Amino acid sequence: MSVKRLATRQYRAIVQEAAPLARVATPGDGWIATARKALGMSGAELARRLGVTRARVSQAERAEREGGITLKAMEQFAEAMGCRFVYAVVPPEGGIENLVAAQAQKKAAALVGKASVHMALEKQALTEKKNRAEVERLAREMMEDPPPGFWSEK
């Protein structure tokens, strides 16, 4: 197994391990306000812990709800509440392997489709069954060792 393949497998395992986080929806008030309220901590108390004004806490909570807060600020607010900020990019329900498999199928089908057109012009077309088998074979190969441009839309 090549170093590249091994590294890809390790990265996939890391991303897949974070997948359960995808089931956690962001609360309507945002995480800062929700955690603060769950702790029974006032905005003024959080502000004191951070060494900022109460207005800054309100501003951060609003910025989080609107998607305009930085990761660094989220981490600072979490730590001030005795919590840990967790940030991850996670695959959808089916997992990272399904994303890769779907892209491999798409790329393989496009390649086989192009080849089929040329072969048909030369009166050497394969049957639909053989074309499907070739798409499956090529997709498996691409999943193991994605070619350059694997994620491009062309």
Domain(s) of CATH 1.10.260: residues in the chain: 19-80
Candidates 1.10.3470, 3.30.2020, 1.10.490, 1.10.260; CATH matching 19-80: 1.10.260
How do residues 93-142 score in pLDDT, each as one tens digit?
Answer: 778 889 999 999 999 998 888 877 655 555 566 677 888 898 999 999 99
Residue position matching structure tokens 């089908």: 109
* Residue of 27, 23, 24 whose CA lies nearest to 94: 23
Q: Check if the beta carbon of residue 113 is closer than 8 Å to that of residue 103.
A: no
| Res. 5: pLDDT tops 60 | yes
CB-based contacts of 38, cutoff 8 Å, min separation 6: none
| Overall pTM > 0.85 | no
Residue-wise pLDDT for 47-101, tens only, equals 999 999 999 999 999 999 999 999 999 999 999 999 999 988 888 877 888 999 9
Q: Which pair of tokens denotes residue 30?
A: 């945002």
